[in-house]
Amino acid sequence: MGLNGARPQVSGISGVKLLSREQAILEFNRRVLAQAQREDVPLIERLRYICIVSSNMDEFFEVRYADVLEASRTRGTGIGPQYIADVAKEAHQLVDDQYQIFNEVLGPALREAGVFILNHAHRNAEQREWVANFFHKQVQPLLVPIGLDPSHPFPQVANKTLNFIVRLGGRDAFGRDNDIAIVRIPRVLPRVIRLPDAISGGKQAFVLLSSIIRSHLEELFAGREIKAFSQFRLTRDSDIDVDEDDVTDLRQALRSKMSTRQFGQSVRLEVVFNCPDDLSGFLLEQFGLNQQALFRVNGPVNLVRLTQLIDQINADNLRFEPYQAGWPECLPQSGGMFEYLRHHDCLLHHPFESFDAVVGFLREAVYDPDVLAIKQTIYRTGSESVLMELLLEAVRRGKEVLAVVELKARFDEEANINWAERLEALGAQVVYGIVGLKTHGKMMLITRREGGRLRRYAHLSTGNYNPKTAQLYTDLGYLTSNLELTGDVDMIFSQLSSLTQQRSARQLLLAPFSMQDQQIKLIRKVADAAQAGKSARIVLKLNSLTDGPLIEALIEAGQAGVSIDLIVRGACVLPPGIDGLTDNIRVRSVVGRMLEHTRILYFRWGDGEANEALYLSSADWMNRNMTRRIEVAWPVRDTTLRQRVIDECLVPYLMDGLDAWRLLSDGRYERVSQDGFSAQQALMARHRAVC
**Residue 385 neighbours by CB under 8 Å, 6+ apart:** 419, 465, 466, 467
What is the distance between the alpha carbons of residues 364 and 353, in angstroms, rounded to a whole number? 19
Query: Cβ distance 680 to 653 under 8 Å?
Result: no
What amino acid occupies position 397? R
Helix/strand/coil for 537: strand
For residue 325, the 8-state DSSP code is B
Residue 41: how many CB atoms within 10 A of its CB? Answer: 18
| Full 3-state SS string of 181-192 | EEEECCCCCCCE
Peptide bond preceding 153: is omega within 30 degrees of 0, i.e. cis? no
Query: Cβ distance 545 to 571 under 8 Å?
Result: yes
Task: Of 4, 14, 19, 16, give the one whose Cα is nearest residue 669.
Answer: 19
Alpha helices in 154-273 (DSSP H): 209-214, 250-258
DSSP string computed for 647-668: IIIIHHHHH-SSSEEEE-TTS-
- 440 an active-site residue? yes
Pairing of the two strands 537-542 and 509-511:
unpaired
What amino acid occupies position 200? S
Phi-psi region of 270 (alpha: psi -120 to 50; beta: other; left: phi over 0): beta
**CA separation, residue 127 to residues 192, 209, 217, 660 (Å):** 15, 14, 18, 45
For residue 479, the 8-state DSSP code is E
Catalytic hit among 216, 349, 350, 440:
440
Catalytic machinery residues = 440
